[in-house]
Structures are given as structure tokens and as C-alpha cells.
Amino acid sequence: MLWASIQFFGGLVILIIAGDYLVGAAVKLANYLRVSPMVIGLTIVSLGTSFPELVVSVNAALSGHPDISIGNVVGSNIANLALVLGFTGLISPLKVRRKTLLFDIPVMLLSSGLLIGFALDYEILRWEGTLLLLLLLGYNSWIIREGKRDFEPEESHETPNKTELFRGVIVLILSLAGLIVGADLLVDGAVFIARAAGVEERIIAVTVIAFGTSVPELATSLIAIRKNEIGISLGNLIGSNVFNVLGIIGVTSILSPLSVNVQTLQIDFWWFILIPLILFGVVLYRQAIDRITGIALVLTYLVYILMLF
């Protein structure tokens, strides 16, 4: 138990340090490529912070634990929106761009709805995973193209030269590696503690593992807010949720078709789709994620966790 605790807290420290460096490197890359930080958040940063979920889900599926594969994605998406976005909005209100409101959030909603539709027969097949992966490639291609068109350099951000860019890319890669190592340590420690307490596999997946693999998003988003990089913070969370569904479930189900737990379909999927739907309605009305919305989201997450137990 002592070693598990060391893993948990050691992973947390690594995540915070790696997240700090990741944000700075992502801003440099955005300016060099002449795209907005929001685009980098939606693509590179979100892919990097979602990599722990990918590793966990693929390993779980190949070792015969589909509950962990799907539960990890469902629980991570719930945690990203209700806990991470809620806590981020509580620290500093986030203004939502019109394009994010009218395109990126609806894409997140549609991808979530598509996953639920595929899961209605209690199985995610290879052809369904292939379709999800192709949709992800199309989405990323579109936002990069649009991001170049909408680029507006900020006075405080100078475009780096090639030497600075090379250093930035190295820092970005090392930061992403740090996030993966940190998340792996945190998850291993948390899962050991949960299993020692006799918690069932599905609940471990949608709570402990999901929270652990969402900590990179939490660390990156909070650090981005501290550095006033709102686009990276919000883009990271929306992009991570889209990548979790289209990329992780896509890749995992191609490697090994996934069976869907009845309780996941009847309980977790309701929260999985209702939270982003309610968030979309609130943001459509308020045009921002303010502190009141942040408090409501965090409380919603706590209610969800309490109902599981």
C-alpha cells in the first residue's frame, strides 16, 4: 500500500511539471505553424493528454477486459467535462468562441451519440471502429485547415525561429512522455488501492482509472489558464473528448471488438451524453463557462461518483 501511495503522488508531481512545459511548447508550435493555440489544443495537446487513455484501453482490450476499455473512455469524458472543465471554470471563467460553440462542441456531441448508437447491440465492431477513426482524421484535417485561415498572431507571442522551434518540439515530446509516465504511475497506484478495497472492475474503470487518465487534461488546463492560454485549455478538453471516442474506441475496437457492459449502457452512457448536452445549452445561453457553471459541473461529477457507490 505504501508503494502504491508513492506511485500515486509521484505520478501527480510528474504530471504537473510536464503539463507546465507542454503549454509553453504548444504555444511556440502554434505561432510557428501560424494556427491559433485553440487548434493546437484541439489536436496535438489533446492527443498527447489522451495518450494514457489510449494505452490503458488498448492494453485492457487485448488482455480481455473490455469493461476497462470502454469504462475508461466514458469515465474520462465525464471527468473532462464535469470535473476538469468545471474546476477550470471555477478558477477562471472561460469565454467560448463562436466557432467552438457552433462546431467543436456539436462534433463532440455527435461523436458521443454515434458511440452510444453503435453500443446499442452491446458490441463495438471493427467496421464501426474504422468509421470512428476515419471521422477523427477528417475532423483534425478540417480544424487545421480552418485554423490556418483564422490565425491572428498576438503581440505578446513572437514567431519562433527554427532553432527555437526545434527546442520547442523536443520539449513538447518530452512533456508528452512525462504526462504518459506520470499518468501510468498515478493509475497503477490508484487501481491497486481500489482493488484492495474490493471495488468492481467497471467502477474502477469509470472512476479511478478515468480520473487518473484525465489528470493530464486537468494539469494542462489549469497551467494553461495560469498562463492565460484559454484556447489551449478549452481546446485540450474538447479535443480530448473527441479523440477519446473517435480515436481510442476506434483503434481499440479495430484491434479487438468490444463487448459493452449492460450497466455501462443503462447508467454511464446517460451521464456521458447528458452532461455535454446540458453544457452545450448553458454555453449557448451564457457564451462562457463562468464560476456558477463550474460549480454546477463539479457538483454534477460528485453526484455521479456517489451514485456509483
**Residue 188 cell numbers, joined:** 497503477
What are the tens digits of pLDDT across the range 13-68? 776 677 667 767 776 777 677 777 677 777 777 777 777 777 777 777 777 777 77
Buried b (16+ CB within 10 A) or exposed e, 223-255: bbbeeebbbbbbbbbbbbbbbbbbbbbbbbbbe
Q: Which residue has the cell 504548444?
A: 26
What are the tens digits of pLDDT across the range 70-121? 888 998 899 999 998 988 888 888 888 887 888 888 999 999 999 999 999 9
**Residue 285 burial by Cβ neighbours in a 10 Å radius (0-12, 13-18, 19+):** exposed
pTM for the predicted model, two decimal places: 0.80
Residue ranges in 243-290 assigned as alpha helix (H): 250-255, 262-263, 269-286
The total of other beta-carbon atoms located within 10 Å of residue 37's CB is 26
Q: Are 180 and 51 contacting, i.e. CB atoms less than 8 angstroms apart?
A: yes
Q: Delineate the domains of the chain, giving CATH numbers in brackets.
A: 2-150+167-308 (1.20.1420.30)
Spatial distance between the Cα atoms of 66 and 265, rounded to a whole number of angstroms:
13
**Three-state SS for 36?**
coil
Lowest mean pLDDT among 87-101, 105-119, 193-207, 231-245: 193-207
Of 281, 264, 291, which Cα lies nearest the Cα of 122? 264
